[in-house]
Chains A and B, each alone.
Chain A
Amino acid sequence: GAVVSQHPSRVICKSGTSVKIECRSLDFQATTMFWYRQFPKQSLMLMATSNEGSKATYEQGVEKDKFLINHASLTLSTLTVTSAHPEDSSFYICSASTDSNQPQHFGDGTRLSIL
């Protein structure tokens, strides 16, 4: 089946550091990738939608300069949390889809902890 690999699975770093999270579709071409954020015991909140080769579409309230998304190829999207602070600590999950009629396949998530 379709596999989405997300890396790293866990990051612990100091406040002010920028952190890059990669999301790869291993056996299919993902025209669309989605980035979600999950707070403890809460649901997944959509942060942005990215289509290969174009700028990401951010949800209301998500700072695009804070959360930089790049979808440079049909198999890779990256999320960079710039100048991370403790309030950015969360579980970030990506998903990928070939098109709107196909299910989204999820990565295993990245737990980001900012000290």
Chain B
Amino acid sequence: GDSVTQMEGPVTLSEEAFLTINCTYTATGYPSLFWYVQYPGEGLQLLLKATKADDKGSNKGFEATYRKETTSFHLEKGSVQVSDSAVYFCALRGNQAGTALIFGKGTTLSVSS
């Protein structure tokens, strides 16, 4: 079945450092890909998405490009802030109607000043 694999954390960075969180997927067909963020004590929020190959999703300085050839959707940010500390989930959704999101295990990011 479909699955998502993302790098294990925690990832610990200093403020203004470059961030990469790797995500690869296995799926049949052409899924949509997502990054969700969960801040401490809160629910999940959609960070960005891409629905087809070579699409780039971006939001709040974060970017991820849908790479079909490498089945990847790595999350990047050029300069992280303390407020970016959270758990980041990579997810995919198949293109059949009513399909649920399938999540990776999540990567905890901790940014210090």
Task: Write the residues of chain A forming the contact surface with B, with a CB cutoff of 8 angstroms.
Answer: 6, 32, 34, 41-44, 46, 49, 51, 93, 95, 99-100, 103-109
Contacts and interface: CB of A to CB of B under 8 A. Distances in A.
Given A46-B100, A49-B98, A100-B99, A93 B43 contact: yes
Contacts of B89: 43-44
B70 interface: no
B43 A34 contact: no
B97 to A, nearest CB: 4
Contacts of B26: none
B101 interface: yes
A108 B43 contact: yes
A107 B43 contact: yes
A103 to B, nearest CB: 5
Contact of A100 (B36, B45, B96, B105): B96
19 contacts: A32-B98, A34-B100, A43-B103, A44-B89, A49-B98, A93-B43, A100-B93, A100-B95, A100-B96, A100-B97, A100-B98, A103-B46, A103-B49, A104-B100, A104-B101, A106-B43, A106-B44, A107-B43, A109-B43
B3 to A, nearest CB: 11
B66 interface: no
Nearest to B9: A41
A43 B34 contact: no
A91 B93 CA distance: 22
Contacts of A43: 89, 103-106
Contacts of B96: 100
A93 B106 CA distance: 15
B13 interface: no
